[in-house]
Structure formats: C-alpha cells, structure tokens
Structure 1
Amino acid sequence: MEKIASFTVNHLDLLPGVYVSRKDHVGQEVLTTFDLRMCAPNREPVMNTAELHTIEHLAATYLRNEPHWKEKVIYFGPMGCRTGCYLILAGDYQSQDVVPLVRDTFRFIAEYEGEIPGAAAKDCGNYLDQNLPMARFLAKKYLAEALEHPTEKNLNYPE
C-alpha cells in the first residue's frame, strides 16, 4: 500500500505551527485539512488525553460559534499521536488564511474559566477525562511558539 500523505512529512524537523495537511474535493467543494501542530514531534512530550480532550471541547465549541467561520467548520479533533489537532474547513485555504482564526481559538482556550462545555455524562462519552489548567497552559505555549508571530517554518511543512 502507498504511504498516506501525513506519513511523508519529515516529523524530525516539524515545528509547532499551522500547516495545510491536505485538500480534498467533494463535488464542487474543497475541504482543507489543517495540521495544528502543538508539540515538536519526537522531541517534546506529547499531550495527555485529559488536556487534549479539554482542548477539543473548547476549540470545537468556539469554532462552531465563531460568526464568520462556523458554517465552514467540518471537524476539529486530536491527532492520534497527541502532538496536535486537525481542523477541517470547507473551502480552499492556505495556512496564512486561518492563522487569525486559530490564534483566536487558542486565546479563547488560554483564557477560559468555568465549566467545560459538554463535560457532563449525558453529553460526552468520557466526561471525567478533562484537565482545564493544563489545556490553558498548552494553549498559551502554542500561542507563544507558533501563533503570535508565525514564520514560514510554522506555516509550511519542512522538506
């Protein structure tokens, strides 16, 4: 079998950032999948499931309520390797196009206080696996390392 595209990215040189992972065509629509890489793969500790789960709940809630983008959000969720998340948007976009959206999303997470949306037994299949303080910490780290002043290395996959 052929290697899928995400397994051809040089993870040894990959930095935290916002990358176009792939573009798919569904009828006339383009779906752009973004790799929101929060940890340097194989060089930093991966995120634990509790904080990643909290990031998922908060980001998905924010994105699906953001007035300009909510109708374009197809999916937000964690990577299996726990070094980041995927964001799928309806439309043909580049990394630079969504940095402001991703920045606002992670600022929301970094500053969030209160009950985590959807963290109740009737709303979530594993509602107790949450860690808001660590999610906030990781959101602040991602903002500082990749989102506040992104460079080409944070927006384009390494060769």
Structure 2
Amino acid sequence: GLFDLFARTTTEEQATPGVIRHNLTPEEPAAAEEPDTAGFTFKVTESVMQFETLPQQQPVPEPEPEPVVGADDHKTEESMEEQLRKSRERIRQLKDLSMKLRAGNLQEMENVPAYKRKEIALQQTPASDESHVSRFSLLPDDEGKTEIRNNNSFLHDNVD
C-alpha cells in the first residue's frame, strides 16, 4: 500500500538508475517456524501445616469504673434556682422583644432614638451642626467666606 512502512520496495523504485535506497529495518529471511522445544516442567509438592492450640487464658475482669460525679452535684440548691430564674428572665425578655416588633411599635422604634426609649439622659453635648466650618480643612476668610486651609495634609505637594 501507499502508506505501508514495512512493505517491500516495488520494482519501479528499483528500476530507477543511479538511486540506491536503504531501509532502516533489515529484511528477515523467511525461515520456517521451528516448534518451540524449550519447555518448563513444574514439580508440585503439597506441604502440610500443623497448628497447635494454645490453652485459652481467662480474661482478667476489669474493675467496675466508679460512677462519675456529675458536674451539677457540687452546686447548691440555691444556685440551681438562681440559674433557672435567670433563664426564665432571658426567655421573658426575648418574648417581650418579639411582641414589641409584632404589635406595631416598629414605627415608634424607628422614630424615637434608642437613648430616649431606654430613658438614658445624655450630657449637654454641642450638636454637630452648630459649627459652620469644619475643623479639619476649612477656614473662614476676612470676607466671611469659607475657604480651604493652607496646612491641609491631604492637599500638599509632597508625596510620600
């Protein structure tokens, strides 16, 4: 065939004068196959194994573990009652909070600040809108207009 690499060269190729062709695979002479006379013989022997039974030892009985003292055994009756009271109080607070959210008080919670709802008095602090000029980067000039200060660290020319 055209693409058969191991095919013998055709007579047309041999007929071209002056061209010598060599194959990388040597041609093997067609020899009659000889039967394989070399064989192997195996000798099978049966081995006998003997096992001894050792006398069975009686297992040593493990000592019974002592009952572990419970973590709550050292607590007094009053401390147990105190824990129960605290847990009931927590449950009650959670129920109250969920009822407030369901009962329509959500509008009040949004409009009234938390410190007023909790009745916490704040000291007289100046409101943030009392000062008309930022203390960080703005400064009023002679005419009363606000301008950016010269010492603003964010607007300097020196780059780190």
For normalisation by structure 2, the TM-score amounts to 0.16
Instruction: Give the structure with the higher percent strand.
Output: 1
Q: TM-score under structure 1 normalisation?
A: 0.16
Structure with the higher helix share, 1 or 2: 1
